[in-house]
Amino acid sequence: MAARLAFDRVACLRGDRLLFEGLSFALEPGAAALLTGPNGAGKSSLMRIAAGLLPASAGTVERDGGTAFTGETAALDPRLPLADALGFWARIDGGSSEDVARALDRMAIANLALVPVRMLSTGQRKRAALARVIAGRAGLWLLDEPGNGLDTASIDRLAAAMAAHRAAGGIVVVATHQPLALPGAVEIPLGARR
């Protein structure tokens, strides 16, 4: 898996507020980064810049190897059964229903495969969104607050999935307030300058 993410002197301006500037880092296959900082420090904005959803106000972002992103929203059709909703993204990513079954198994929600997404609880929906990331074949995982709403067993499963992804040469970038097992991760503190 060839993945790469490099920020070169990136700045982020939201409205007339400068969230950060001169941010540079490079992540090679197997690496991980942990974004930390208080609310409003620009963690989600940095995630969206890394995902290509927001243009950087200055500097350049290099991305390689496909990107998987999960934020506040699960992006799953509420009326569809979970397996079908995930299957849609798997087909777009060029995968199959086996990828979905494997990802459901990894997040321990295989028993919910036939349940419509709107019936899922917050934590189950979060796990479903993570299963969407796992089922895809992207090298770069961008996870914005992946631990929100997860129970401890699910957090362990998430940590295991991230470790497996890095072992296969993938990159993981996580923004979180919760302690997450991410050994050897580069810490990127935001909002420290003020």
Positions in the binding site for another protein (CB under 8 A): 51-54, 66-69, 71-79, 88-89, 91-93
**Which is nearer to another protein, 51 or 104 (by Cβ)?**
51
CB of 92 to another protein, least distance (A): 5
**Which is nearer to another protein, 13 or 108 (by Cβ)?**
13
CB of 156 to another protein, least distance (A): 26
The Cα 107–Cα 135 span in angstroms is: 11
Strand arrangement of the beta sheet that strand 17-27 belongs to? 17-27, 4-14, 58-64
CB of 101 to another protein, least distance (A): 18
**Which is nearer to another protein, 141 or 190 (by Cβ)?**
141
C-beta separation of 111 from 141 below 8 A:
no
CB of 75 to another protein, least distance (A): 4
How many CB atoms lie under 10 A from the CB of residue 5? Answer: 22
Taking the CA atoms of residue 93, residue 146, residue 140 and residue 41 in that order, the dihedral angle to the nearest 10 degrees is 130
